[in-house]
Amino acid sequence: MADKPSKPQKVKARLPRGLADRGPAEIAATRHMVEAIRVVFERYGFEPVETPAIEYTDALGKFLPDQDRPNEGVFSFQDDDEQWLSLRYDLTAPLARYVAENFQNLALPYRSYRFGWVFRNEKPGPGRFRQFMQFDADTVGAASMAADAEMCMLAADTMEALGIPRGSYVVKVNNRKVLDSAMDQVHITPEKRLTTMRAIDKLDRLGIEGVKMLLGKGRKDESGDFTKGAELSDSQIAGIVAAITGTPGQTGDARGPGELELSEIATLMRSAGYDDRVRIDKTVVRGLEYYTGPVYEVELTFEIKDEKGRPVRFGSVGGGGRYDGLVSRFRGEPVPATGFSIGVSRLQAALTHLGKISGKPAPGPVVVTVFDRNRVADYQRMVSALRTANIRAELYLGNPKNNLGTQLKYADRRGAPCAIIQGGDEKARGEVQIKDLILGATLTDTKDREDYLKKQAKAQFAAKEDALIEAVRKLLARHKLI
């Protein structure tokens, strides 16, 4: 007896950890946000540029936090010419490559903005994704602290353009040189400095006690994973804690370059009227290794409730800083640069909570049903007329044998504001039936019979076929959809 042929193995549909699918509502909200950010950035004189998602690995460099092995933090693969390529982990490193490659053709200072997806090969967790969107602005070729001050102003203006009121956010500024001075004073060796900075960068998430653990032997997280610490001495830990919790000038040399740069930025903020939105804060570090001077973060200060009713903050939704050495890697000469990056995905969650952007999907298209499958050409003509009038519309393309009830259920699931119906009788009279699906959805909640009958009469009505566009526009206007 011959063996029965084995059934083909089904592929399991599953999403990799740390990644997320996005639906129409979220995409529409992102589009709204990106447009609002773009308007502000262009008002500041920045111009758009795009770089590819894939770069040579050595061009990106190794600047990511939590980097314990050579390819940690970066998705990499080897091309057929044995060159290593990587997905970009931010938008700044690719910009540095672009500027270096096109240096002779750019007007300096070069001011640009860009947005797109970036990728991190890191352990995913709540609110931590391997793919997320950033929107950046950078000034390359300006060593003045005015360029850094402008980035802080840009951050503040962008928050308000997105609807976050003054007082619900703060732009915090520090300087890597101040921290370098503090590390010098407590004699932290060069090989421990990066681990020290990355520990401090987790202050907002772990608190001061968690940072102390990472400055010492290390810390075990809730999942049981252990992160090795910087292994500083108790006196070194005490010195660093004093530096990040003190007030400006309290630690280190108040006349040092870092403190002087912070003082200059503070003066510029006052003169421009931003001193109520931008403040000096010694706890700001930023995790990326390439920062060399001022660093800044935008933090949302309002609280929300988590699923257990506990107060939580969204925290940082953007940041940046000066990276004078990044372009210099390619050029072999000093090229000052500074930039600011918005975490679009995190900020979008905050704006949705504030009600500044809708979490609901946009209304679907008008659906033209197929009452008679032998007259598809007639129905397609109606769809074309609606589209020509700039009204979203689609022809029902499901099984033509499906009855009208099935087609109307489809239109409901699509979020269609109305459906167009034309049978033989309507065709003979030169009419169409228009079913108001938004009004129809409220009928089940209507208790008063007289009110119910009035709504029912309005929920489906006849219109002349040559007046279809006008009738649909009136319906959309009644529901404030145009």
CATH of the domain at 210: 3.30.930.10
Question: What's residue 69's pLDDT?
Answer: 38
Is residue 103, in this structure, part of any structural domain at all? yes
| Separation of alpha carbons 151 and 339, rounded Å | 7
Residue 100's pLDDT is: 96
Question: How many domains are there within the chain?
Answer: 2
Look up the CATH number of the domain holding residue 455: 3.40.50.800
**402 within domain boundaries:** yes
Helix/strand/coil for 332: coil
Which pLDDT band holds residue 180 (cuts at 50, 70, 90)?
confident
Is 7 within the bounds of a domain?
Answer: no
Range of the domain at 341: 24-354
Is 299 in the same domain as 414?
no
- String of b and e for 454-466 (b: at least 16 CB within 10 Å)? ebeeebbeebebe
Read off the pLDDT of residues 331-380 as tens digits, 9 standing for 90 and up: 999 999 999 999 998 898 888 888 888 777 789 999 999 999 999 999 99
Tokens representing 85?
């390529």
User: pTM for the complete prediction?
Assistant: 0.82
Q: Residue 359: inside a domain, yes or no?
A: no
pLDDT number for residue 70: 42
| Span 226-254, average pLDDT | 74
Q: Which of 297, 327, 354 is the last residue of a domain?
A: 354
5 in a domain, yes or no?
Answer: no
Residue 451 confidence (pLDDT) above 80: no
What average pLDDT does the structure give for the chain? 88
Please check whether residues 304 and 446 belong to one and the same domain.
Answer: no
CB 290 within 8 A of CB 325: yes
Most confident of 8-22, 353-367, 435-449: 8-22
- The label of the residue with tokens 């672009």 reads 98
In a domain, 327, yes or no: yes
Q: Is residue 362 helix, strand or coil?
A: coil
Sign, CA dihedral 348-114-69-329, equals: negative
Q: What is the pLDDT of residues 199-220, one digit of tens each?
A: 887 887 788 888 888 888 888 8
Q: Which segment of 164-168, 201-205, 251-255, 340-344 scores lowest on mean pLDDT?
A: 251-255
**Mean pLDDT value of segment 393-420:** 93
**The pLDDT of residue 64:** 56
- Opening angle at CA 189, ends 186 and 192, nearest 5: 105
Per-residue pLDDT, averaged over 251-259, amounts to 68
**For the range 9-16, what are the long-range contacts, defined as Cβ-Cβ under 8 Å and sequence gap of 24 or more?**
16/130
CB contact at 8 A, 262 and 173? yes
The per-residue DSSP string of 412-473 comes to: HHTT-SEEEE--HHHHHHTEEEEEEHHHHTTGGG---HHHHHHHHHHHEEEEEGGGHHHHHH
| pLDDT interval class at 306 (50, 70, 90) | low
Strands (E), 102-243: 110-119, 131-140, 169-175, 218-220, 226-228
Can you give the pLDDT at residue 4?
67
Q: Is residue 361 domain-resident?
A: no
**Domain closes at, from 323, 354, 385:** 354
| Predicted local confidence at residue 444, as pLDDT | 74
Q: What's the whole-number mean pLDDT along residues 227-247?
A: 82
